[in-house]
Structure 1
Amino acid sequence: RIKMRASENSNARASAGLNVSNLHAVLSEDPEVSILNGVTLSLEPGEVVALLGPNGCGKSSLARTIMGDSQYEVTHGRVEMTGEDVLSLDVDERASKLGLFMSWQAPVEVPGLTNFTLLHAAVNA
């Protein structure tokens, strides 16, 4: 874990961090297939973390579940950010109200758009 100081200009939505509590999820198309089993995670404002593990251990599934990917269905647990129940928001609200978004490991390059510009826009959305 790397702690970074949030700037004084950080917007209010970053002040409460992200809390995942006892999150369980299954595949929407086959609820017998358990994907997440009791994941608990707490991120402080300004903290940078990396989820590391072998293929198939659930890193992407956790991110996709938090983002509201319809392939996954939450069966138990909570995800909160700034006091909001993230799981009760649709995908667009997660981005517009809370600034949550998911970037691919190898995003498509857009001519004229730098990584800095993309991340700056995401932080200030």
Structure 2
Amino acid sequence: MEYKDRKAMPLFPISIVSELTELSARQIRYYEEKSLVTPLRSEGNRRLYSFYDVDRLIEIKRLIDEGVNLAGIKQVLKLKEIQIQEKQVTEQQKPKEQKRDLTEKELHELLRRELLESGYLNNSSIIQGELSRFYH
């Protein structure tokens, strides 16, 4: 099971979510009624919330505390979902970078350049020819 799937698993009852979000059960049910959050239901018809639901409720609480009304919150959440979807589409469309192995000559040149930039090759404590086995 992927990490993303685990965060979407409905795990928490409303009492735990209430403690985590510092929202009352009534507030949480109200946000559900307004379609701001949609918990899954257990076989016994109990609400079960995922990590994503908890994050969303915390975001709703933050926006309410900032004075945003429900219509504004719906717009903010809708825009965030659109941004996430666009990001996912963009990432899927990006061509995968083809990594190639360095040749031995390229590897030696890279090592030499890094040693020069670090000042290691200019250090007088280096014994002449100490690195000669790498550069032939």
TM-score by length of 1: 0.24
Larger % of helix: which? Answer: 2
Larger % of strand: which? Answer: 1
**Structure with the greater alpha carbon radius of gyration:** 2
